[in-house]
Amino acid sequence: MPENKKKQEELLLEAKKFFNAYKSEIGESLRSGERVVRLMFPHLLEFSPELTEALLQFPEDTTAILETALEESNLGKSPRIRYYDLPKTSFTRIREIRAKHLDRFLTVEGIVRQASDVRPQVVNAKFECPNCGAILSVLQIDKKFREPSRCSCQWKGTFKLLSKEMVDVQRLMIEESPDSLEGGEQPRRISVFLKEDLVDPKMEERTTPGSKIKIHGVLKEVPVPLQTGAISTRFDIAIEANNIIPLEESFEDLNISEDEIKDILELAADPSVHKRLARSIAPTVYGFENIKEAILLELLGGVRKTKSDGGSTRGDIHILLVGDPGVAKSVMLKFTSTIAPKGRYVSGKAATSAGLTAAVVKDEFLRGWSLEAGAMVLANKGMVCIDEIEKMTEQDRSAMHEALEQQTVSISKANIHATLRAETTVLAAGNPKLGRFDPYTPIPQQIDISPALLSRFDIIFVIRDLPNKAQDEAIATHVLQEHKQPGEQEAVVDPKLLRKYIAYAKQKIKPKLTDEAVEEIKEFYVKLRNQSVNSDAAIKPIPITARQLEGIIRLSEAHAKIRLSHEVKREDAKKAIELLKISLRQVGYDEETKSYDIDKMTTGITSSKRGKILLVRETIARLESKLGKLIPEEELLKAFENNISQTELEEVMTLLKKDGYIFQPRQGFIQRM
């Protein structure tokens, strides 16, 4: 800052005039926030170009002048100024920060990768040079309390400590967001220091790891100590933040203007709004009406409720798509992750349990352990799209169980025991084990996913790529048209409006079940649970469980949200039941007994097969008491001549051997373990 006293006084006068002119705006921000004044940069620029110039050139000194002017104008007691709407010229990418930017005002954007604890710390210490009387301030960033290395008058001795400033401090590690990178660029990181009101509990919510933020601040150099105790000639850099602005909002935080509300209500009045919105999901993909409608319902979600015992039921709907390669599963996933706020797209091979839930990493700053949130926690109140789920390892997938149903992620590693919120919707896609789908093999044997995880998905769709002349012609026409004239789609809702429509429905609409909807769902559930079965087996198939019942409720609520209705009507319940039936018909239908059987989907063993396994076990036990430990296989075959065919018996025997119930001591004989 120019040493000129007169210049400083002029600026102080200018600042007082500015605050008098904008008294109402300043007063408003002081009333809403404690000791914090929101200062809009365009206002300052309009009023005084000199002040603006001084602020961009010498941000710290000018801010001090502005704060003094505020206090002298009796507008606040030791107020803090936070700047908004800085000019575009101050925006710099993290990788473009150079020495010329030191002590200048910068605006950077990025994703929070790590956040330390909030602790009091000496951030600045003022020293006096005994030789020339100059006052030097040293930014304290390292663990060791630092003195100035030298003065401008070349004095290198000891300095007199005048004062030290203690404040609450938090350090963030900011990383460039992937969308601003090109090709194979590695994202660069920079440290950001927050202090005072920027570490308030209210502000801390914005700086949780994974949030996307914009930071206005001053670039500072940080001395790097060598092992000898001397200071290196190479300095580190860090940003001292003046203000943080969150960039990523969940559907609940999205701001919707009056004009947009008008467009939304106009769209909702259209009787075919369901079809139009569903067609707007991945419009480049032809067909799949049911799947697109289910994805639309998933984006809207049900209503999260707190039960009387204090627990809560999830409102998020999870969908799994299983199908042949090349049916545009990934296209739908990619599109959905861009429409959903906080949408994250992860691919099976490249995802681990730590990357999905949370990881414990060593924190160099605090010399301890700190938590790094994974995709499911980062997308809290958002959506995670997991592609190629079958390529993840079993341990990695098991980490998702809790996140899918309880919607929390518990971590107990090192000295960290934490439960993080993960109210996340999951849309997953996978290919069958043998490349193509085999309609005669149960789903769990084709996708390597455990039954417990499969049952957590509300809807499972099987997409089969079967040749069909009419459909193939339509697909070819659609794809070729898309290549010929990209982006020309009829009657499709613009993605921006679609996003605002979903946000509006999620914010304003919390539909409640009506009696007619309750009746419809109850009737379907009871009827299906007690379906008549063609077999007289002792074990009756379980068509659906209470988990599917909750799924129907969630789907009906989401369907009511499409119409922006506050009530779940019979038509909503019918549509939800129809979607569930499509899913069950594909994955939970037992051809042998001609009935729905949820076990086929979750365990791969239908109840009719389970009955046979039980029968074989009982027969083995009976033969053992008659013939002794070694049982000839012929005897077993003879016992089942009328009931079970030889191939079925061999299948059951293979299962029993796998489970360790029986073994083969020698050829042609079996024995119980």
CA R_g for the chain: 33
How high is the pLDDT of residue 504? Answer: 84
What is the tens place of the pLDDT at every residue in 456-477? 888 888 887 777 788 778 888 8
Instruction: For residue 83, count other CB atoms closer than 10 A to its CB.
Output: 22
Record the tokens describing residue 625, joined without a space: 């008491």
| Token pair belonging to 7 | 């210049």
In 500-625 the beta strands, taken as DSSP E runs, fall at 512-513, 567-568, 589-590, 595-596
Identify the CATH class of 285-492: alpha beta
- CATH number for the segment(s) 89-246: 2.40.50.140
pLDDT in tens, 257-268: 778 888 888 888
Beta strands in 397-473 (DSSP E): 408-413, 416-421, 425-430, 459-463
Q: How far apart, in whole angstroms, are the C-alpha atoms of residue 571 and residue 516?
A: 9
| pLDDT, tens digit (0-9, with 9 covering 90-100), for 26-58 | 666 665 556 677 778 887 778 777 878 888 788
pLDDT of 14 > 80? The answer is: no
pLDDT value at 512 more than 80: yes
pLDDT for residue 124 is more than 60: yes
Q: How confident is the model at residue 1 (pLDDT cuts 50, 70, 90)?
A: very low
**pLDDT tops 50 at residue 98:** yes
pLDDT at 538: 44
Burial class, 293, CB count within 10 angstroms (exposed 0-12 / middle 13-18 / buried 19+): buried
Angle at CA 100, nearest 5°, toward 94 and 106? 45
Output the six-digit token pair for 110. Answer: 């990025």
Find where tokens 């000194």 sit. 61
Which residues are registered as beta bridge partners of 37?
81
pLDDT class for 405, splitting at 50, 70, 90?
Answer: confident
Rounded mean pLDDT, 101-129: 82
- End-to-end CA distance of the chain: give it in Å, rounded: 87
Mean pLDDT of the chain: 77
Read off the pLDDT of residues 609-665 as tens digits, 9 standing for 90 and up. Answer: 667 777 777 778 777 777 777 788 777 777 776 667 777 777 777 777 877 778 787
CB 191 within 8 A of CB 217: no
Position with higher pLDDT, 299 vs 535 = 299
| Closest residue by Cα to residue 428 from 336, 310, 495 | 336
Structure tokens at 619: 């027969």
Three-class SS state of 466:
coil
**Which pLDDT score is estimated for 141?**
64
- For residue 566 the two structure tokens come to 């506050």
pTM, entire model: 0.69
CB atoms within 10 A of CB 511: 23
Distance between CA atoms of 219 and 141, rounded to whole angstroms? 13
Percent of the chain with pLDDT over 90: 0
Q: What whole-number distance in Å separates Cα of residue 242 and Cα of residue 637?
A: 82
Averaged pLDDT for residues 179-208: 76
| Mean pLDDT within 273-280 | 83
Check pLDDT > 80 for residue 289: yes
Q: What angle do CA 55, 59, 61 make, to 5 degrees?
A: 100
Domains 285-492 and 607-672 share a fold: no
Q: How many CB atoms lie within 10 A of CB 70?
A: 24
* Paired strand residues for 220: 238
CA angle 620, 622, 625 (to 5 degrees): 110
User: Looking at the domain covering 607-672, what would its CATH class be?
Assistant: mainly alpha
Contact 230, 210 (CB under 8 A): no
pLDDT at residue 369 greater than cutoff 70: yes
Q: Name the percent of the chain lying above pLDDT 70.
A: 83
- Dist CA 167 CA 144 (whole Å): 17
Contact 419, 410 (CB under 8 A): yes
Report the pLDDT averaged over residues 236-250: 80
Alpha-carbon distance values, 205 to 37, 98, 249 (Å): 20, 31, 12
Q: Which amino acid is at 40?
A: M
Architecture of domain 5-84: 2-Layer Sandwich (3.30)
Q: Is the per-residue pLDDT at 603 higher than 60?
A: no
Taking CA atoms, 273 is separated from 108, 277, 280, 316, in Å, by: 41, 6, 11, 22
Higher pLDDT, 510 or 609: 510
* Average pLDDT estimate for 182-205: 77
Sorting pLDDT into bands at 50, 70 and 90, what band is 537? very low
pLDDT on residue 75: 63
Distance CA 315, CA 344 (A): 19
The full set of domain ranges for the chain reads 5-84, 89-246, 285-492, 607-672
**Beta strands 416-421; 408-413: pairing state:** antiparallel
